[in-house]
Structure formats: C-alpha cells, structure tokens
C-alpha cells in the first residue's frame, strides 16, 4: 500500500477552461471554470469524523474503560506524558490512533500539498483580495488562561483540540468538565475558570497532531502569495452563544476592525471564507455590523468592505443531529458503536453527561434546525422524501408501537421535537437558546424588515435578509452524496427514575432503512442537504431574502473517497475533509485572486426539486394563494 500511496494523485476529473498566458486581460476576464465530475465511485471505505464530543470519547473509551478506575487511583500517573498515556492504553486502540496519524503522514508524502496553488500560480493568479477565514464548530482549539488552583496545571494548554485534552479526559475528567462547560445561568465563564479560543493560524490548522483541518487551504493560499499580512483566521469560542461572543470576547467588534484595517492597508475589499457553523457566524455578523444595535456600520458597510463570501458546507438551516445531541447526548456516531464501545463510553462519559455538556455550550444549539415543518416536513410529507419511501422524513422522532411505551404518545415532527426538547430540559437551557436564537419563517417582506431590529433573528436566513450589497458575491460550495442522519427512532429509558433523560435513541431497532435507530438521508455526512443547499438554490432567489439581488453561485461536489485514504483523498466531500479537496481549494484561490467570476453553477443533487417543494413561498406566490 505504501507504494500506491506514494504515487502522485491525479487532480479531480474535471475540465477547466483557462486562457493561454498570451491572452489579453479582456479575454481572461471572460474565461470560465466548468467543473465536470463523474458519478460516485463505489467504495467500502467507512471513516466517520468525530463531529461532537460523544464520538471522540467513544474512540477513546472503546477499549480503555475496563481498567480506567484502577489507573486513576495510581498517583504516579500525575505527570503522565503523551508517551506514557499511549503505554497504558490497550494495544488495539494505540494501533488505531497510530494508524490514523501515520496515514495522514503517508498522504502528506504521497502528493504535493501545494499542487493546487502551483497550478493556479502558473496561470498567472496571485494574492489579490485580503482573505479572512472563519472556522466551524469543534475545529478551533480552546486553551486555559485561568490562574486559580484548578487551572494552573493547564495554563495556556489546550483543553480542546490537543493531546492535553485527551490526558485531562482520562485522568482529570471532572476538572476538565468544569473547564469546558459554561456557566448555566449566564452562558459565560464559570467561577475560577477562563477558557479562550486559540488565535492565529495555529488555532485551526490541525485538530490534534496529524489531523489537519484548514492546513491544506493555508498551504495553497501561501503558494500564490498570501501570508499573515493578507490573510487572517478569525477563530472564536464556539461554545458561546452569538450574543455572548460579543459580550465576553468582543469578537464581532474585532472582526469588523480587522476587515476595515485590511481594506485600508491593501486597498481592496475583503473575501470572507467560512466553514460549517462559521457560515452562520458570518451571516449573524452581516446583521450585527450594520445595525445600530450592534456595530453601527450602516446599511452600506458590507457593500463597502466585503468583495465575496465563500460559504463552505454552511449549515444555514441547522443540522438535525444537533437535536439528538442536546436531547439525549447521542447521534449516529454513538448509536452505531459496537457493544464494547457503548459499554466503555457509558462508563466513562454517560448519555446524561454528554447531554449536559452539549447543553452547557449554547453555541452548539445555534445549529438546531430552522424553518420548522415548512422546511423539514410533517408526519406524512417532507420535500426530500424519495419515491416508494414507506415513512416520511418529516416524522423526525419516531416511537415503535406496541412496545408498552407511553411517552411521547405520537411521533414528532421537527416543530414538535423542538417543543419536546425545551419542555424536557432545564429552564436555564431553553431560556438561553430562546433568547439567542429563532427557528421560524418570515413569510412577508414586512416581517423580514422588522426582524432586522431583533438580534435573536439574525442567525436565521428564513427570518432575515442578506445585506443591501448588490456587488457582493456569494459562493456556496458544499458536498453531497454521503449518507447523513435525517430522522430517528427513540424510546423511553428502561429505568426512568435512574436517569434525567426523558428518551434515548432506540439503538436496538434495526430494520429496513433503520440502522440502530437512525434513518439516513442526503448531505455531506454531517449537514443535511436541505440545510446546506436550500438558501443557496432557492431562498436567496426570493426578493424579500435578497432585496439587493446579490449574486449567488452554487457548486456541489460529489463524495468520491479513495479506498485507502483515511481522509478520503482529493475528491472527498465529507463535511470536514472537504477542506482538503483539490476542487474546493482551487475555487477558493480563484475567488481570492479576483477570478471568482470564472466559476459557474454546478448542481448534481436533487436540491432544486426539493427546494421547490419546501413550503416557503415568495411574496408573489403567497399573493396567488400558494401558501
């Protein structure tokens, strides 16, 4: 396999029309990039990125917990190093970790990581617009700046996104939880604890050693001339609600200041590139920066300062797996673990603890699904239902009949599920979520304009509009073709008095399309296709959501992973691994280099058919009685 890995990997199978070097500037401006990709290639590869803490802990706990209690009693492990930690872990688990890291190194050696940058540089493209990158949830490291006794051992060490985190999880779990969870009442720092986002390129290049996140993009940007003076990573503490990002960290104030400085110093407008939750952060920022309730930049601030917004795998309407994470501390990653792994995970970090952690990170709840039943369907219908499907995706939380279970009495839609979530969780949780976020639909222009003065609506593109920036260009780049959880089967706990959870995934139910209580739909493995694709293909073509007529370009990328590549290779479309995809990197470079107008729409999924069925209508349709 080593020999195979070290061959030069071919670029994406696409046709790119570019001008010859001797062509005039006028001719170059009219050249277009046409992306033509093949259908999905069959592969037995199954590699799941750790989306949230439960999945990460599952990998660690699968073989470790059988001896964890004894290990924790030994004082000599107080100065445990990474090497000694690996010494005490089961050999199989250590091998898996080493294989992952070594696999990453092999892939790095297998082909030139700078090849995309070298290709476009040979065409004459170079650094043009300053670029600001806004990362997604989970991928930014969090480090301790507290000086109280409980924090001193971790001063300036990462308690999220490092081997220090792994060590703390194993040997100092309660203290780690105390650091990672925000105060329940305020949503800010708990007493004696001060955790902050890491800054600079180091904040997001790698999650842990060997697991890259933004590093491929950094390499290719550097190849065409970018450096820290013309590029910037706007890392943030993803645990915080969006209002608290400004209250505690002045995040949006600092982002506004950096963009304004970049415009003055470089003389060109800025390109924003965001990934996943970072796209929600950018959309919220657009409202904050222009509002008198926020940055007071005025309605023309975005038009003056922002050239383009590259929206990568944006969960613009949330992700359904976010509901299950905060409802019961579960998702597909935990539900489909084998029995030994589930046992280890529950002994180490139970469902109750995981749900408690997720709820105490209000930023994660920003990704609860938006649009309600109009977008996600009802008990009998959903826009993405498939022909011959015997049960609608709109029936989101399902309960098997005849199993002597009494609560809830019926299956639940998305609207019902959010209501059930808020009714079955603590007051502090649903008070914080409802105060910070809104999940509805504004059906008229008047509602949309009124919502510009309500910060709780700023996260929701179905309740607010794009900025009044006619020259702004939006690029929606996202993956398709990877099964993504869409609905679930749930059941009450066996011993309700022994747990604080009202329900849990029915992991014992596997039948037809139901696998361990999880039903899969379309998306990129994390974000559902309706979320990543609806606004780009339909919503932002409605006048009330896009009154300035901002141009929106959509490029979907089919998931075509390489069989022996642990991260899928240069044609993956996985939610996180797509950041290393050659096609995506090339398009980012073209936009940054001022050649974004050479990129054309490329839609391979059925998103436009699904979007047409969504029960959100433009003003003309509503006037005709379509609603």
Tokens of 62: 């699968």
pLDDT at 340: 74
Q: Does pLDDT of 110 surpass 60? A: no
The reply to whether 215 and 88 lie within a common domain is no
Residues 131 and 85 in one domain: no
Tell me the pLDDT tens digit for each residue of 492-550.
Answer: 988 888 899 999 999 999 999 999 999 999 999 999 999 999 999 999 999 999 999 99
pLDDT at 101: 54
**3-state DSSP call for residue 525?**
coil
* High-pLDDT (> 70) share of the chain, %: 80
Q: 597 CB contacts (<8 Å, ≥6 apart)? A: 29, 473
Rounded to whole angstroms, the Cα distance separating 122 from 349 reads 51
How many Å is the Cα radius of gyration of the chain?
A: 24
Number of independent structural domains in the chain: 2
pLDDT number for residue 335: 81
**Cα distances (Å, whole numbers) of residue 413 to 54, 109, 304, 376, 487:** 25, 48, 42, 8, 9
Ramachandran sector of residue 438 (left: φ over 0; alpha: ψ -120 to 50; beta: rest): beta
Q: How confident is the model at residue 466 (pLDDT cuts 50, 70, 90)?
A: very high
Alpha-carbon distance of 310 to 527, in angstroms, equals 17
The mean per-residue pLDDT over the stretch 30-46 comes to 44
Q: What is the largest CA-CA distance in the chain?
A: 77
Task: Return the minimum-mean-pLDDT range out of 248-252, 257-261, 560-564.
Answer: 560-564
- Range in 171-185, 325-339, 403-417 the model is least confident about: 403-417
pLDDT at residue 29 greater than cutoff 70: no
Residue 3 is assigned to a structural domain of this protein: no
Average confidence score pLDDT of the chain: 85
Domain membership of residue 412 (yes or no) is: no
CB 437 within 8 A of CB 460: yes
CA atoms within 13 A on the CB side of 336: 16
Question: What is the side-by-side strand order in the sheet with 131-134?
Answer: 231-233, 131-134, 270-275, 306-312, 473-480, 551-558
Classify 352 in phi/psi space as left (phi over 0), alpha (psi -120 to 50) or beta: alpha
- 3-state DSSP percent of the chain in helix, strand and coil, to 5: 40, 10, 45
Token pair for residue 293? 């309730």
| Residue 164 CA to its chain's centroid (Å) | 23
The whole-number average pLDDT for the span 37-65 is 38
Shared-domain flag, residues 231 and 90: no
Q: Are residues 581 and 543 in the same domain?
A: yes
Torsion of CA 258, 456, 626, 382, to 10 degrees: 90
Q: For 296-346, how does the pLDDT look when each residue is reduced to its tens digit (9 = 90+)?
A: 999 999 999 999 999 999 999 999 999 999 999 998 888 877 777 777 778
Q: DSSP for 377-437, please give it.
A: -BTTB-TTPPTT-SS-TT--EE--TTSS--SSSS-B-HHHHHHHHHHTS-HHHHHHHHHH-
Instruction: Give the pLDDT of residue 6.
Output: 36
Residue 429 within a domain: no
Place of tokens 């996104």: 161
Tell me how far apart the alpha carbons of residues 77 and 88 are, in angstroms, rounded to a whole number: 10
Q: How confident is the model at residue 94 (pLDDT cuts 50, 70, 90)?
A: low
Q: Supply the pLDDT for residue 138.
A: 80
CB 17 within 8 A of CB 580: no
Hey, what are 462's tokens? 């179905």
Looking at the fold, whether 608 and 586 belong to one and the same domain comes out as yes
Catalytic residues: 276, 524, 575
Domain boundary among 108, 143, 158: 108
Domain enclosing residue 104, as ranges: 81-108
Res 169: pLDDT: 85
Res 34 pLDDT > 90: no
Residue 97: band (very low, low, confident or very high) from pLDDT cuts 50, 70, 90: low
Q: In this structure, are 118 and 98 located in the same domain?
A: no
CA distance 241 to 360: 10
- Evaluate whether 211 touches 138 at the Cβ level (below 8 Å): no
Contact between 81 and 547 (Cβ < 8 Å): no
User: Does residue 99 share a domain with residue 218?
Assistant: no
∠110-113-114 over CA atoms, to 5°?
A: 140
Judge whether residue 195 has pLDDT over 50: yes
Does residue 331 or residue 462 have the better pLDDT?
462
Residue 457 has pLDDT above 70, yes or no: yes
List the one residue out of 140, 346, 377 whose CA is nearest residue 239. 140
Per-residue pLDDT of 467-479, as tens digits, reads: 999 999 999 999 9
Lowest-confidence region among 201-205, 229-233, 411-415? 201-205
Q: In this structure, how many other beta carbons lie within 10 angstroms of the beta carbon of residue 457?
A: 23
* pLDDT over 60 (residue 21): no
CATH code for position 563? 3.40.50.1820
In a domain, 358, yes or no: yes
- Give the C-alpha separation, 234 to 201, whole Å: 9
- Using the 3D structure, point to which of 62, 93, 108 is the last residue of a domain: 108
> Domain for residue 150, yes or no?
no
**Of residues 253, 251, 140, 248, the one with CA closest to residue 194:** 248
CA distance 56 to 346: 13
Q: Map residue 3 onto helix, strand or coil.
A: helix
Domain check: are 89 and 123 in the same one?
no
443, 585: one domain:
yes
Q: 457 and 583: one domain?
A: yes
pLDDT, position 339 = 74
> Are 254 and 231 part of one and the same domain?
yes
Q: What pLDDT, in 10s, does the model give residues 352-381?
A: 999 999 999 999 999 999 999 999 999 999
């Amino acid at each position: 396999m080593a020999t195979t890995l070290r061959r030069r990997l071919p670029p994406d199978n696409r046709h790119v029309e570019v001008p010859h070097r001797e062509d005039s500037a006028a001719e170059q401006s009219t050249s277009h990039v046409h992306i033509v990709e093949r259908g999905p290639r069959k592969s037995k590869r199954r590699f799941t990125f750790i989306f949230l803490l439960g999945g990460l802990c599952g990998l660690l706990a699968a073989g470790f917990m059988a001896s964890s209690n004894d290990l924790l009693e030994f004082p000599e492990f107080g100065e445990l190093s990474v090497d000694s930690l690996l010494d005490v872990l089961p050999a199989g688990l250590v091998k898996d970790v080493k294989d992952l890291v070594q696999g990453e190194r092999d892939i790095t050696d297998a082909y030139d990581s700078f090849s995309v940058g070298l290709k476009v540089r040979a065409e004459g493209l170079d650094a043009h617009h300053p670029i600001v990158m806004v990362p997604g949830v989970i991928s930014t490291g969090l480090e301790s700046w507290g000086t109280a006794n409980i924090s001193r051992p971790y001063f300036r060490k990462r308690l999220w996104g490092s081997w220090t985190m792994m060590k703390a999880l194993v040997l100092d779990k309660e203290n780690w939880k105390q650091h990672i969870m925000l105060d329940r009442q305020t949503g800010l720092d708990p007493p004696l604890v001060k955790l902050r986002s890491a800054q600079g390129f180091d904040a997001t290049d790698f999650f842990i050693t060997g697991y890259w996140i933004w590093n491929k993009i950094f390499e290719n940007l550097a190849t065409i001339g970018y450096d820290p003076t013309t590029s910037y990573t706007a890392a943030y503490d993803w645990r915080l609600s969006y209002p608290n990002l400004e209250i505690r960290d002045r995040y949006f104030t600092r982002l506004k200041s950096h963009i304004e400085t970049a415009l003055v110093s470089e003389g060109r407008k800025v390109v924003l590139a965001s990934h996943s939750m970072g796209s929600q952060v950018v959309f919220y920022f657009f409202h904050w920066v222009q509002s008198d309730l926020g940055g007071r930049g005025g309605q023309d601030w975005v038009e003056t300062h922002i050239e383009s917004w590259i929206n990568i795998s944006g969960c613009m309407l949330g992700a359904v797996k976010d509901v299950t994470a905060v409802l019961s501390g579960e998702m597909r990653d935990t539900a489909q673990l084998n029995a030994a792994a589930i046992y280890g995970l529950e002994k180490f970090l139970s469902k109750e603890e995981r749900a408690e952690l997720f709820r105490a990170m209000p930023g994660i709840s920003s990704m609860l699904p938006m649009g309600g039943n109009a977008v996600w369907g009802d008990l009998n219908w959903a826009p993405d239902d498939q022909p011959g499907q015997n049960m609608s995706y709109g029936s989101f939380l399902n309960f098997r009949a005849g199993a002597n279970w009494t609560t809830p009495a019926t299956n639940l839609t998305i609207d019902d599920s959010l209501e059930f979530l808020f009714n079955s969780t603590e007051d502090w949780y649903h008070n914080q979520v409802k105060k910070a976020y809104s999940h509805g639909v504004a059906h008229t222009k008047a509602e949309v304009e009124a919502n510009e003065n309500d910060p709780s609506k700023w996260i929701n593109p179905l309740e607010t509009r794009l900025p009044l920036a006619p020259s702004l260009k939006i690029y929606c780049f996202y993956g398709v073709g990877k099964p993504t959880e869409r609905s679930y089967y749930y059941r009450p706990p066996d011993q309700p008095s022994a747990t604080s959870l009202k329900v849990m995934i029915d992991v014992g139910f596997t039948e037809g399309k139901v696998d361990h209580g999880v039903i899969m739909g379309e998306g990129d493995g994390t974000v559902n296709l309706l979320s990543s694709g609806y606004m780009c293909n339909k919503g932002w073509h409605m006048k009330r959501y896009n009154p300035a007529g901002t141009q929106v370009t959509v490029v979907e990328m089919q998931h075509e992973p390489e069989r022996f590549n642990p991260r899928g290779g240069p044609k993956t479309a996985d939610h996180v691994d797509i950041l290393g995809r050659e096609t995506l990197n090339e398009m980012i470079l073209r936009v940054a280099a001022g050649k974004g107008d050479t990129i054309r729409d490329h839609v391979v999924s059925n998103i436009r058919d699904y979007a047409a069925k969504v029960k959100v209508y433009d003003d003309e349709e509503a006037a005709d009685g379509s609603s």
